[in-house]
Chain A
Amino acid sequence: MVLFALINISSRLAMLILFFIPLFATLILPGTSTGFLAYQHFLLANGLVPVNNFHILLMVWSTLIGIILYTEFLTWYLAKGKKNSGDVKIDLADIHSTLRAAIAVMKDKIAKRN
């Protein structure tokens, strides 16, 4: 869902979704959410380091925040590169005149057919 929002809508919305899903879950069902986040999967380093669902949430957050931030940064950087190059210039007046000519040809053809 976060990646969908990132690609199709906006990176800011993706970031908000990422943040607010666990936050709302904790606000609405604090007992269940805290219990879920505290669920211990396994212990590392001879039982010294417990790995809970909370740690997995942090990992997911880190990954997705990284993806969103770097996507935004790279998009800015690439767009900036294009603007600076200035090789491609699009004249809107040209496009409009071409479109008008094409529409006139089509109208003519339809009139002949009738």
Chain B
Amino acid sequence: MATRTLVFFILLLSFLAPAANAYDIQNEDIWIFQGAYQLEIGGRAELEGFTVKLHDIKDDGSSATILIYRNRVFKEAFLIDDDANNVQTYEKELKVTASEVNATSVSMEIHKQQTERVWITSTKKTAVKEGKQIEDGEYIVKLKELTEEGALISVEGNGNSIEDTYKMAEYEKIPDEFMMNIVYINKNTEEVFIETLRPGEPGMSVFVKTDKEEYYPNEKIEYQFSLSNTGTVPLHGLILSTSTSEGSVEDTVLQHPSLDPTKVKKFVVDIVPPSSPVAKNITIRSEIKGYDYKANEYSNSSILELPIKPYISIEKDVEMLKKSAIDTEFGTDEYFLVSLTVKNMAGSQTALTITDELNDSFIPDNMEKLEWGILMEPASEKTITYHVKPTVPGNFTFGTATAQWNYKGDTYRVSTGLDNEVYQVHGLKATVEKSIVSNYLYPGDRTEVIVKVTNTGDRQIEVSLSDEISPELELVSGGTSWRGNIAPGRSEEITYVIQAQKIGDFYLPEAHIEFTDEDDKRGTSDSGTPVIYVDNALPVVEYEEYIDAEEYHYEDEGIIEENDAEMTELTRSGAVWFLTYSFVCILLLIAIVPTGAYLYINRKIQ
């Protein structure tokens, strides 16, 4: 058991050792560039674990005093200038290099001594035999010979040519360019496992968003700028600069010491939107700068368009309420309470004219027109409420309310959003329509009159219809009055036949209905007055004048109708004859010219 445990740990260590070794060679203990800063007196550069503060500058601007804080605890003060003492180092950990010192500010670059992953695997561990090579870009690694001392390997490329004998876990480094590492030498198979590494690079990917899609002028914009390091080595000295086309940015510059690969840093910037009488878009621009360990600069930027609403806003709220039992006005059961909430988000007083629209079937309570003039204090809110009575039952929607004001000589207006909510008003309602089947008659002709009663309310009603006939017309059949029940949404048609007596235009009198519901609520309605034309029957009169009156009267009406039908209707043979006739006519017409030409040419030849 003990032997097995020992073997297990030896194996475990043997597996872990190359991994640890591989990890070590990827890192370098170097001065890592942390960022370039321009500090004014009192200004700070915040780094990971350190803070550099510019304490003061000599009056002549020749030198300055900087203070070093570690974890916000003061550690040391340095005198720095841009000449001989331009580099100051704290505890071999922090290096401040002044590039310019003037009377108001000091420009400096800050480096920090730390171990950082710099080398990134380029070619994975590959088995190479004698005489074989691996290629990594412009570099060629060739295994020349495998001896007892190790592997004789040549590294060539980019103007470099190195040949040496390497043992296991040894490596060859060409600074800032290329590294070759012997991972393992297998003497049994005479194979050398080689990997190549290259210096890594950071990458920047940005994403911006705001907590809302649009803002009122009194709302602070929470602008989020997310930076993700898509590269293979960390980014240092990140500086985010934000600006906006209108409004103001609270933190125009934000700093962050470093960002490891695959990590995301989220910057939150507060922006105050502009106050405008009209809706407008503002543009937020951001630029992020950062550096890799060699002080190479990387940057990225973003642009975001954001809509800002005008500083006056109006909202409309409609509430449907039940009428009291004694209120039977218009036969409807409900009424509406409309609230208009107006906000002034400007920094000054504003005089507003508020108007609202109503459906034609609605009547405002105790008001002649829906218009109000109000004076709004800065950053204030007012609510206007009024009642609306529907005059008929049915389904209704409400229109938009508008606030209008003047600003610097121009007129501006905002409206409420379109409310598509449908409100159903219950109540007692019925309509009556009167129509005529044929409204053009000759004396003696008959036609049908249709009176249609429709229950457009939402409850059963008992209807009583009364209609009249003009004295110029005569009732032939049917009745002009009716009484009965009609269910909601249903109709009843009452028809009767009238006969024209005299020539002229006659308006039929309006039909009248009275209806009551189960609660004994009453209502009335009237129809329109359709017109009927009774014309002089001229052809008949002329016919009568020409023939003997007695002969005419012998003819039965049925025979006359038959004769008429024969005269007007196109029969099969008639249609065929007509088509044949048309075809022959066209043929003859068209054939005139070629026939003439044929005869002429033939005669000429003969």
Q: Which residues of A contact B325 (CB under 8 A)?
A: none
Docked complex Cα distance between A62 and B579 (Å): 13
Are A58's CB and B572's CB within 8 A? no
Judge whether B576 is part of the interface by a CB distance below 8 angstroms.
yes
Q: Known contacts being A61-B586, A76-B598, A77-B601, is A33 close to B591, with CB within 8 Å?
A: no
Quote the shortest CB–CB distance from A12 to chain B (angstroms).
12
Chain B residue with the shortest CB-CB distance to A67: B590
Quote the shortest CB–CB distance from B379 to chain A (angstroms).
66
Quote the shortest CB–CB distance from A23 to chain B (angstroms).
6
Are A27's CB and B598's CB within 8 A? no
Are A65's CB and B575's CB within 8 A? no
Q: Which residues of B contact A27 (CB under 8 A)?
A: 572, 576
Docked complex Cα distance between A19 and B586 (Å): 11
Q: Known contacts being A34-B570, A76-B598, is A69 close to B579, with CB within 8 Å?
A: no
Docked complex Cα distance between A80 and B590 (Å): 22
Q: Which residues of A contact B594 (CB under 8 A)?
A: 69-70, 72-73
Q: Which residues of B contact A65 (CB under 8 A)?
A: 586-587, 590
Are B572's CB and A30's CB within 8 A? yes
Q: Known contacts being A69-B591, A73-B598, is A26 close to B586, with CB within 8 Å?
A: no
Chain A residue with the shortest CB-CB distance to B575: A26
- Mask, A16-27, CB within 8 Å of B = 1, is 000100110011
Q: Which of A30, A62, A73, A77 meets B586, CB within 8 Å?
A: A62
Judge whether B85 is part of the interface by a CB distance below 8 angstroms.
no
**From residue 549 to 589 of chain B, which have CB atoms closer than 8 A to chain A?**
570-572, 575-576, 579-580, 582-583, 586-587
Docked complex Cα distance between A62 and B576 (Å): 18
Q: Which residues of B contact A26 (CB under 8 A)?
A: 572, 575-576, 579
Judge whether A50 is part of the interface by a CB distance below 8 angstroms.
no
Judge whether B174 is part of the interface by a CB distance below 8 angstroms.
no
Q: Known contacts being A69-B594, A73-B597, is A61 close to B583, with CB within 8 Å?
A: yes
Chain A residue with the shortest CB-CB distance to B591: A69
Interface of B, helix, strand, loop or mixed by DSSP: helix
Q: Which residues of A contact B576 (CB under 8 A)?
A: 23, 26-27
Interface residues on B, range: 10 to 19
Q: Known contacts being A73-B597, A77-B601, is A66 close to B590, with CB within 8 Å?
A: yes
Quote the shortest CB–CB distance from B571 to chain A (angstroms).
8
Quote the shortest CB–CB distance from B269 to chain A (angstroms).
68
Chain A residue with the shortest CB-CB distance to B583: A19
Q: Which residues of B contact A61 (CB under 8 A)?
A: 582-583, 586
Docked complex Cα distance between A80 and B572 (Å): 44
Docked complex Cα distance between A69 and B583 (Å): 14
Are A23's CB and B586's CB within 8 A? no
Quote the shortest CB–CB distance from B201 to chain A (angstroms).
75
Q: Which residues of A contact B575 (CB under 8 A)?
A: 26, 30, 33-34, 37
Quote the shortest CB–CB distance from B598 to chain A (angstroms).
7
Chain B residue with the shortest CB-CB distance to A61: B586
Q: Which residues of B contact A33 (CB under 8 A)?
A: 575
Docked complex Cα distance between A70 and B586 (Å): 14
**From residue 26 to 62 of chain A, which have CB atoms closer than 8 A to chain B?**
26-27, 30, 33-34, 37, 58, 61-62
Q: Which residues of A contact B571 (CB under 8 A)?
A: 30
Docked complex Cα distance between A102 and B462 (Å): 109
Q: Which residues of A contact B582 (CB under 8 A)?
A: 58, 61
Quote the shortest CB–CB distance from A14 to chain B (angstroms).
13
Q: Which residues of A contact B590 (CB under 8 A)?
A: 62, 65-66, 69
- Mask, A62-100, CB within 8 Å of B = 1, is 100110011011001100100010000000000000000
Q: Known contacts being A26-B579, A73-B594, is A58 close to B570, with CB within 8 Å?
A: no
Quote the shortest CB–CB distance from B582 to chain A (angstroms).
6
Quote the shortest CB–CB distance from A15 to chain B (angstroms).
8
Q: Which residues of A contact B570 (CB under 8 A)?
A: 34
Q: Which residues of A contact B597 (CB under 8 A)?
A: 73
Docked complex Cα distance between A65 and B594 (Å): 12
Q: Which residues of A contact B583 (CB under 8 A)?
A: 19, 61
Docked complex Cα distance between A109 and B587 (Å): 60
Q: Which of B580, B586, B591 meets A58, CB within 8 Å?
A: B586
Q: Most A CB atoms within 10 A — which of B580, B582, B583?
A: B583
Chain A residue with the shortest CB-CB distance to B585: A58
Docked complex Cα distance between A61 and B581 (Å): 13
Q: Which residues of B contact A22 (CB under 8 A)?
A: 579
Quote the shortest CB–CB distance from B594 to chain A (angstroms).
4
Chain A residue with the shortest CB-CB distance to B580: A23
Q: Which residues of B contact A15 (CB under 8 A)?
A: 587
Docked complex Cα distance between A96 and B557 (Å): 86
Q: Which residues of A contact B579 (CB under 8 A)?
A: 22-23, 26
Docked complex Cα distance between A58 and B572 (Å): 19
Quote the shortest CB–CB distance from B35 to chain A (angstroms).
81
Docked complex Cα distance between A70 and B580 (Å): 21
Quote the shortest CB–CB distance from A61 to chain B (angstroms).
5
Docked complex Cα distance between A61 and B583 (Å): 7
Quote the shortest CB–CB distance from B382 to chain A (angstroms).
61
Docked complex Cα distance between A76 and B597 (Å): 11
Q: Which residues of B contact A19 (CB under 8 A)?
A: 580, 583
Chain B residue with the shortest CB-CB distance to A76: B598
Q: Which residues of B contact A37 (CB under 8 A)?
A: 575
- Mask, B287-313, CB within 8 Å of A = 1, is 000000000000000000000000000
Q: Which residues of B contact A30 (CB under 8 A)?
A: 571-572, 575
Q: Which residues of B contact A66 (CB under 8 A)?
A: 590
Docked complex Cα distance between A97 and B589 (Å): 52
Docked complex Cα distance between A91 and B583 (Å): 46
Docked complex Cα distance between A66 and B590 (Å): 6
Chain A residue with the shortest CB-CB distance to B584: A19
Q: Which residues of A contact B586 (CB under 8 A)?
A: 58, 61-62, 65
Quote the shortest CB–CB distance from B249 to chain A (angstroms).
67
Docked complex Cα distance between A27 and B597 (Å): 37
Q: Which residues of B contact A34 (CB under 8 A)?
A: 570, 575
- Mask, B243-285, CB within 8 Å of A = 1, is 0000000000000000000000000000000000000000000
15 contacts between A and B (CB under 8 A): A15-B587, A26-B572, A26-B579, A30-B571, A30-B572, A34-B575, A58-B586, A61-B583, A62-B590, A65-B586, A69-B587, A70-B594, A73-B597, A73-B598, A80-B605
Kindly list 7 other residue pairs between chains A and B, CB separation below 8 angstroms, not including A15-B587, A61-B582: A26-B576, A27-B572, A30-B571, A30-B575, A34-B575, A62-B590, A80-B605
